[in-house]
Structure 1
Amino acid sequence: MKKVPTLDIRRYETDREAFVAELGAAYREFGFCCISGHGIPKEAIDGAYDAFKRFFALPDETKRKYHIPGGGGARGYTPFKVETAKDSKFADLKEFWHIGREIPRDSRFADVMPPNVWPAEVPDFKEKGYGIYEALDQLGARVLRALALHIDLPEHFFDDKIDSGNSILRPIHYPPIEQADVPNVRAGAHEDINFITLLVGASAEGLEVLTREGEWLPITTEGDAIVVNIGDMLQRLTNHVYPSTTHRVTNPQNDNARKPRYSVPFFLHPNPDVVLDVLPSCVTPDNPKRYPEPITAHEYLQQRLREIKLI
């Protein structure tokens, strides 16, 4: 049976050529790879999860104080059964919170990147949550350097395109599923919108990725590994050399269905004004240019948020 590989990112410093080749091959095949050796302390991850769990345990009316109507879920709290996978009839069985990048309010992106809100009831939520945001942001930049080298771009090609990226950390709570025949799933089959997604703590069952052969392949991580997958913006930029693969979170078929599931993806986005125009190095006679029209990252994001019913 095929398996999404786990690669140690420390090899980027010690065994660069082989690491970049293996990483590139994993992404071309699956659009997914598990990254170990990243150096984010377990205490930082566990501390963030603990703060997020305490928030989700609050009463519904308390959580809803942090729901921002008309905000498209960009910051703060989004209640249970709001987000719906594109083309799905049923809303996902989840509630979540969004932490965005802290930027100066006189930044040129201030109008499209609103300030964060923080729950007063969980005093360490900001410190723990934003700490893990920054750690994953830095790890994502390292992964993108290796991906750039694999497609013959300069190592730091992406650095100035993500330094003010509209990236989101999304703590998610999937409550226990009480009835057996519920038509909704925890997260319907979908692709991510952004450049890359880093998922920390994917040890619980449920995450599945659709292979090229059309089979659902389960992914669970071991040790410190973080799942990193390609999003649609990077797929578009690389003319599908790096595929954005369909994935879902299924409802467990055992007693775990009656347990809550938590997960914390970090959606690494480019700066809002980055133009997504196919890279010339990714156009070949076998892979002609698939997207004649360029679009900015911000316009693309708005288009997609409408499709998943967040705006």
Structure 2
Amino acid sequence: MPAPTVPQILHYEPAPETTQTLDYADLAIIDLSKADTVEGRAQLAVQVRDAMSNQGFFYIVGHGYSPEQMKRMFDIADVPFSQVSDEEKQKYVAPTKQTGSYQGYKLRQYWHIDGGVRDQVENYNINRDVNKRTHPEALRPLLPEITQFARHSHQNVLNPVLRLMALGLELPEDTLVNLHGWDTRSETYVRFMKYYPRSAEDEEKTKNVWLKGHTDFGTVSILYSQPVAALQILARDGTWKWIKHIENAIVVNAGDAMEFLSGGFYRATIHRVVQPPPDQRQYTRLGIFYFCTADDDVRLAPLATSPLLQRVGFRRWFEKDEDAPLMVEWRKARTSAYGQTTLAKSTEEDRVEEEVINGVVVKHYN
């Protein structure tokens, strides 16, 4: 039987890797191909537990997508930016502030960064159920491939990671998987994201920061590695470490919702985006993400039945579990507020700004 044909689209040529010497974070590399056996999952669970509780970030290899498949996905990821007119983009802008949803376009200059400077990044967000809304004409022939990619990210990356994280908490391995259904109501989505070079004036006003240090609001964020160095994490010693590109690897981090569910054991790591090193500054930076949230009706209270949490102790953000926000409440509040609110200077930490969302202090690191 002949192989199915796919629509022809323009190739996106990524930037060459930087030759600059950067202070990279030393992150664990998890080979998911070893998760097929009970013994393999037990070994990987320890690695994931240590990585998530200490750094909140790790790499994944052995995830089942070939380099050729990833190149095709990056070609697809560029379509909503290079093959859709500005006029058509306006028809698909997400009403983010009104609805607390990113579905559709986030165009440039929507987020305030610092010093009166607004962002130079576009993103296009597609719910894992691509039929939830209509899409620009150039993307429509590509929706079957995007659906397949979302399903792969969910079933072959997210679910194995959630099983390993549950085992790390000494819970039944499907505990977290059962909170992240494929057919349930949630905001888990594919994001295509493109950063554009900024002016020297904007770089000076923001001290070269493109997105302030922040945590993600969901449970697990899945980033398919790309070569332009710009992502940094805040290490426990207070320094910013670069995330190194590994060809055909995935970078995974925990978000607020996972920190709530794990009672603070799995840290929502603070990360930011900065100007790339000099040899990459003339290139655009194209990213592919799978941002995951628990089902909308999941209450973000600690999984207190965890034997590990009972031994080591855990944090409660709310005195009563019933006072903890539902996932839908947290994601809508965080999404609506991001880059749109006036932040207050922290009275306790230098270079930190704060806002209160659903009774929780959310910090932004400048």
Taking structure 2 as the reference length, what is the TM-score of the superposition? 0.75
Shift of 1:89: 6.3
Q: In the alignment, residue 213 of structure 1 is paired with which amino acid?
A: D
Q: CA 1:283 to 1:239, structure 2 compared with 1: closer, same or farther past 3 Å?
A: farther
SS in 1 for 2:291: strand
Q: CA 1:237 to 1:84, structure 2 compared with 1: closer, same or farther past 3 Å?
A: farther
Shift of 1:301: 1.1
1:130 to 127, 147, 162: 147
Q: CA 1:28 to 1:256, structure 2 compared with 1: closer, same or farther past 3 Å?
A: same
Q: In the alignment, residue 293 of structure 2 is paired with which amino acid?
A: H
2:108 aligned residue: 80
SS in 2 for 1:275: coil
Distance in 1 separating the partners of 2:134 and 2:100: 14
Shift of 1:88: 8.9
Contact 1:161 1:271 in 2 (8 A): yes
Q: In the alignment, residue 294 of structure 2 is paired with which amino acid?
A: P
Kindly, what percent of the aligned residue pairs are identical? Answer: 25
Matches within 5 A, 1:1-311: 3-14=26-37, 15-57=40-82, 58-69=84-95, 70-84=98-112, 90-102=117-129, 115-138=132-155, 139-163=157-181, 164=184, 165-179=186-200, 181-182=202-203, 183-184=205-206, 185-280=209-304, 281=306, 282-283=309-310, 286-292=313-319, 293-309=323-339
Distance in 1 separating the partners of 2:202 and 2:287: 23
Contact 1:198 1:229 in 2 (8 A): yes
Distance in 2 separating the partners of 1:222 and 1:309: 30
Q: CA 1:249 to 1:160, structure 2 compared with 1: closer, same or farther past 3 Å?
A: same
Shift of 1:129: 2.4
Instruction: Provide the alpha-carbon RMSD of the alignment.
Output: 2.4
Q: In the alignment, residue 224 of structure 2 is paired with which amino acid?
A: V
Shift of 1:288: 4.5
Any gaps of 5 or more consecutive residues in structure 2? Answer: 1-23, 342-366
Question: Could you give the per-residue CA deviations for residues 119-146 of structure 1, whole angstroms, max 9, x where no partner exists?
Answer: 1024433223222222111110110000
Shift of 1:92: 3.0
Q: CA 1:73 to 1:158, structure 2 compared with 1: closer, same or farther past 3 Å?
A: closer
Q: In the alignment, residue 40 of structure 1 is paired with which amino acid?
A: Y
Any gaps of 5 or more consecutive residues in structure 1? Answer: 105-114
Q: In the alignment, residue 60 of structure 1 is paired with which amino acid?
A: D
Shift of 1:257: 1.7
Question: Could you give the per-residue CA deviations for residues 155-214 of structure 1, whole angstroms, max 9, x where no partner exists?
Answer: 111222111232021100101224355335332211100010000133321111111111
Distance in 2 separating the partners of 1:208 and 1:309: 19
Shift of 1:22: 1.2
Contact 2:34 2:41 in 1 (8 A): yes
Shift of 1:116: 2.7
Task: Say which one has the larger Rg.
Answer: 2
Distance in 1 separating the partners of 2:228 and 2:187: 28
Distance in 1 separating the partners of 2:128 and 2:112: 24
Distance in 2 separating the partners of 1:259 and 1:52: 16
Shift of 1:71: 4.6
Distance in 2 separating the partners of 1:118 and 1:133: 16
Contact 2:107 2:123 in 1 (8 A): yes
